[in-house]
Amino acid sequence: MRPALLISIACLCGALGASPRPAAAAERPVVVELFTSQSCSSCPPAEALVGRLAQEGSEVLPLAFHVTYWNHLNWRDPYSLPAATARQEAYAARLGGSSYTPQAVIDGRVGLVGSDEAGLRAAIARARAGGPAIPMTLVRDDGRLVAQIGPGSPSGSRAGRVLLVGFDPSRTTKVLRGENAGRTIEQVNIVRSVQDLGSWSGAAETFTPARPDGEAAALLLQAEDGRFLGAARLGPSGAGREALR
């Protein structure tokens, strides 16, 4: 067993019942999902805002989901994913309204225009006041990841889904055609893959998935109503395990 895995297990020992003392409730980063496209001329300001959030510390976890429905124009976003489009459609059904770019979804429950900085920061503040989270860790072990989730008190037998998201922390693209033709766009936390690892019903769980596409990874625990119950992130190889809140 590798040292990183031993450290991870030690960090969760209280949550998994190895300590006689009750584990303290964890804090969590607020998950901000931006639905965007390189073919959308309104999206660069929203992507710049997400970039600022990514630099402000561990209290926010921004993820940029590049949708596919702009690809019918004469520029195909190289990071567009069918899974991103499907995820936004699911939010549209839950939150009401239609799918558009740039759209930000905060904490899985509030949708607004992704470039609305005042509205976005207010929604983040409200989500941050939502209380403690389920403790979670994510570490590397050889060619796989080890994802650990502590126990909790869900209100049902299928209280949440465990998602593993692979993402690239930073990419620069020169757009040659479309609405952003001639622009060089800086983009952060670009989602490259989404895996559903399974359901969570309150008991401590350990998953050992293969490494996802993307240089970094995020582990998300999302309740059936869309709210995130916990989140953890893992930086690129060689960057070490990030401290999570």
Q: How far apart are CA 127 and CA 106, in angstroms?
A: 8
Q: How many CB atoms lie within 10 A of CB 118?
A: 8
Q: How many CB atoms lie within 10 A of CB 144?
A: 12
pLDDT tens by residue, 1-39: 444 443 343 444 433 333 323 333 457 899 999 999 999
Q: Which two tokens stand for residue 221?
A: 């625990």
pLDDT tens by residue, 158-200: 589 999 999 999 999 999 998 999 999 999 999 999 999 999 9
Predicted model pTM: 0.85
Instruction: Give buried/exposed letters for 181-195 (b at 16+ CB in 10 A, else e).
Output: eeeebebbbbbbebb
pLDDT tens by residue, 78-122: 999 999 999 999 999 999 999 999 999 999 999 999 999 999 999
Sign of the torsion angle spanned by Cα atoms 67, 68, 74, 75? positive
Predicted pLDDT at 64: 98
